[in-house]
């Protein structure tokens, strides 16, 4: 099996200088462009959006799989996290670009593996569960109180740590 990956479009954007987010939400699409006996051409698109919203990374391109039908079917099938194997391979190939660009833009780098994108720190989980239990989340100017609370928690924690350090010094 042989995989050829082409990049057609890459966009990195940042709203603010702060790096106060912990994870990226990802939207991925794979569309079949052409299918032959020993080759399939796929159009892919990955959109990584920081949570809370500050940075957006968009990558689009074409991926060509060469091999017999069994090999191609295996690459198109989902893994244990229900992500197509070929999408993981595409992500691994373009990850160095994410790393270099995120460092130059001074934003956190996305996870090394696509399956790690769904990792949520324990603190964030407990806040989300508390808000969902109350079912009292209002939307204000396109942002929910949940994301505002999440931001406040992240921004408050480092300040508390600094105060503790100042007290010990």
**Least confident piece of the model among 17-31, 58-72, 152-166:** 152-166
What pLDDT does 113 receive? Answer: 85
> Is the model's pLDDT at 130 over the cut of 80?
no
Domains by residue range for the chain, with CATH: 2-118 (3.10.420), 122-168 (no CATH)
Mean local confidence (pLDDT), 114-120: 60
Mean local confidence (pLDDT), 42-69: 94
pTM: 0.66
**pLDDT bracket for residue 117 (50, 70, 90):** low
**Least confident piece of the model among 12-16, 84-88, 124-128:** 124-128
Report the distance separating Cα 151 and Cα 94, nearest Å.
Answer: 29
Mean local confidence (pLDDT), 51-64: 93
Three-state SS sequence of the chain: CEEEEEEEEEEEEECCCCCCCCEEEEEEEEEEEEECCCEEEEEEEEEEEEECCCEEEEEEEEEEEECCHHHHHHHHCECCCCCEHHHHHHHHHHHHHHHHHHHHHCCCCCCCCHHHHHCCCHHHHHHHHHHHHHCCCCEECCEEHHHHHHHHHHHHHHHHHHHHHHHHC
Angle between helices 145-168 and 122-134 (to 10 degrees): 140
């Amino acid at each position: 099996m042989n995989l050829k990956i082409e990049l057609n479009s890459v966009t990195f954007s940042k709203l603010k200088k702060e790096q106060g987010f912990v994870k990226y939400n990802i939207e991925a699409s794979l569309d079949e462009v052409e299918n032959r006996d020993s080759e399939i051409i796929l159009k892919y698109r990955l959109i990584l959006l920081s949570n809370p919203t500050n940075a957006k990374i968009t990558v689009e391109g074409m991926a060509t799989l060469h091999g017999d039908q069994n090999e191609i079917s295996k690459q198109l099938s989902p893994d244990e996290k229900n992500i197509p194997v070929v999408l993981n391979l595409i992500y691994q190939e373009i990850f160095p670009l994410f790393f270099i660009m995120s460092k130059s833009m001074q934003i956190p780098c996305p996870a090394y593996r696509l399956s790690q994108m769904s990792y949520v720190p324990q603190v964030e989980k407990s806040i989300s569960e508390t808000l969902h239990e109350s079912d009292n989340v209002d939307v204000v100017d396109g942002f929910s109180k949940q994301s505002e609370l999440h931001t406040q928690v992240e921004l408050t924690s480092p300040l508390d740590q600094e105060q503790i350090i100042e007290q010990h010094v």
